[in-house]
A and B are shown apart, each in its own frame.
Chain A
């Protein structure tokens, strides 16, 4: 479980996040909406542990541990992983090697890559010269190998073409264990119960909602988290009345 309590985050003397409370229980996936610059990336970078996002108040707990001051790599080993909005590129580091690093101990890199159309990128330097959509697939591929318990997706579908979005959407769904199709041995209820992966997905386009059934949606507006509700509803609201109105309605109910 991820628990964020009264979190305040500053960068320089700018307050990026204002007293955020958030709880993601095992098996839950949340969607995060919000206008540009509202602090969405800041929130997940803070959860990942980037030190430039200075936590000046509040706590973050993961799996019962206080991780507020834990270094990035320890958080990764504890089971947190993210798909970056804009990852750096590293010259000389082959994508194949990066995926192996993510897997830790051995992975069938070729077959993983095959599942999201990334085979031809394995022998290229990671992210070097990748197009916008290719970067998203590269990020997803890394998470497929890393298999964290909490997956933070920063706009995983932005800039992805219509064919690849199906691949990406289904893969995210699978990683988050969202597939509810009952089988002979398992009812929907049992499937939900067995699910343990947690997700936090940032989206502007809402395309991801066509593939991932999320438990909850929230809107981050100017560093304030508001409007907890059904993600599809929220998305409709934002589309029809805009963020500001949506947040106001959220704070009224």
Chain B
């Protein structure tokens, strides 16, 4: 579809509320980005920015990163690839430069899905293309940061991530706000392409402010023998989050695993989950989520659809209510043919008193015992995730544990 047609289609959805999540008045946010100067080196970021970005897993010391993309409000301020075979290009530039990108832009998500997709097309600021060339093994993570510096800003981005045939790519995306920002909205489209025998891990850490609304719109496709690991961590206060990435496994033996860690703080509304469609033989899918309500409301969704014999999927949804709030686990399984194997496990509750006493009898105070159990609850081993990324996840978990108690 040509850009003009996309725009027409988007316009028709300008006012269209989303199926899920509270409706947001987009007009109450500005789309005028202040100018930001490009920087030549991440070390040049202000200490305040560095600190906030680090909270979302973005390192200004890039020793353990294969490349970086940093966007402040609507403006890319830094783009660099440090490894051969890795391309990182701001999406606007990429759309002009690469004709082939038209085959990937708005291909997995309909531009008229809702007002957020419409905005991401019609008022697009920027975003990134991150691509591992065929056969490239990009073992250090590439990092991308979406930073909100202007209060009341609507940040509209579009990202395309491509792991070409036989490649390996790890991406960490950190979304954060500057310390003074309290409100804003982030509208982010992400399209993931995992080609034949490629491996892509995508870890997103959200570290927003209390009054920020977040509407990601993501979708992925995994070809034969491909592996897509998708981790989502949102443990800091946020006003409203609604996300429901959908991934299709279209090639034989394709595998997708989604992990999410969510904390709902007082006043927060989180509606998060994901769906995986198993469309080819020997495909495997796993969705694992851990949700803690610390006074907020959380809807934890998960949906597996088995369409061919031999498809296997497992969904695990565990919720912990710490200080009131609500958790609603909605695990769904659909088997469309004979011979699919799908299961789910869901549990919502509070911390078992018995576990607290057990730890107290080993010398911990009640608070220490609670903290230890919460840490355990949030610790999921993610096989195949490089150590620096596991480190970032652990850091986020440790920080949130401090907040919770």
Contacts and interface: CB of A to CB of B under 8 A. Distances in A.
Whether chain B is bound by chain A comes out as: yes
Given A50-B357, A101-B372, A92 B379 contact: yes
A107 interface: no
A75 B357 CA distance: 12
Nearest to B375: A92
A73 B376 contact: no
A101 B362 contact: yes
A125 B373 CA distance: 11
A93 B363 contact: no
Contacts of B372: 93, 97, 101
B246 to A, nearest CB: 28
Nearest to A84: B358
Given A90-B355, A101-B372, A72 B379 contact: no
Given A88-B352, A88-B358, A101 B377 contact: no
A253 to B, nearest CB: 36
Interface string A118-146: 00000001000000000000000010001
Interface string A27-67: 00000000000000000000011100000000000000000
A104 B363 contact: yes
Contacts of A97: 372
B223 to A, nearest CB: 34
Interface string A76-88: 1100011010011
B361 interface: yes
B120 to A, nearest CB: 37
Nearest to B372: A93
Given A90-B376, A93-B372, A93-B376, A73 B355 contact: no
B64 interface: no
A77 B363 contact: yes
A76 B377 contact: no
A51 B4 CA distance: 71
Interface string B317-334: 000000000000000000
Most chain B CB atoms below 10 A, which of A75, A90, A104, A125 = A90
Contact of A76 (B361, B376, B378): B361
A184 interface: no
A38 B240 CA distance: 55
B373 A48 contact: no
A72 B357 CA distance: 7
Contacts of A76: 360-363
Contacts of B358: 84, 87-88, 90
A83 to B, nearest CB: 10
Interface string B324-358: 00000000000000000000000000001011011
Nearest to B376: A92
B44 to A, nearest CB: 40
Interface string B358-373: 1111111110010011
A73 B361 contact: yes
A176 to B, nearest CB: 18
Nearest to B381: A92
Interface size class of B (residues with CB under 8 A): 20 to 34
Most chain A CB atoms below 10 A, which of B352, B357, B379, B380 = B357
A76 B380 CA distance: 30
B289 to A, nearest CB: 14
Nearest to B352: A88
A73 B373 contact: no
A189 interface: no
Contact of B364 (A84, A91, A101): A101
A146 B363 contact: yes
Contacts of A71: 360, 366
A165 interface: no
A200 interface: no
Interface string A182-226: 000000000000000000000000000000000000000000000
Given A88-B352, A90-B373, A93-B373, A142 B379 contact: no
B281 to A, nearest CB: 32
A156 B352 CA distance: 24
Nearest to A48: B361
Nearest to A77: B363
Contacts of B354: 88
A73 B364 contact: yes
Most chain A CB atoms below 10 A, which of B361, B366, B380 = B361
Given A50-B357, A72-B360, A73-B360, A91 B365 contact: no
A242 B372 CA distance: 45
Interface of B: 352, 354-355, 357-366, 369, 372-373, 375-380
Given A87-B358, A98-B362, A104-B363, 5 more contacts: A49-B361, A73-B361, A73-B366, A101-B362, A102-B362
30 contacts: A48-B361, A49-B361, A72-B357, A72-B361, A73-B360, A73-B361, A73-B363, A73-B369, A75-B361, A76-B361, A76-B363, A77-B363, A84-B358, A87-B358, A88-B355, A90-B355, A90-B358, A90-B359, A91-B377, A92-B376, A92-B378, A93-B373, A93-B375, A97-B372, A101-B359, A101-B362, A101-B364, A104-B363, A142-B362, A146-B362
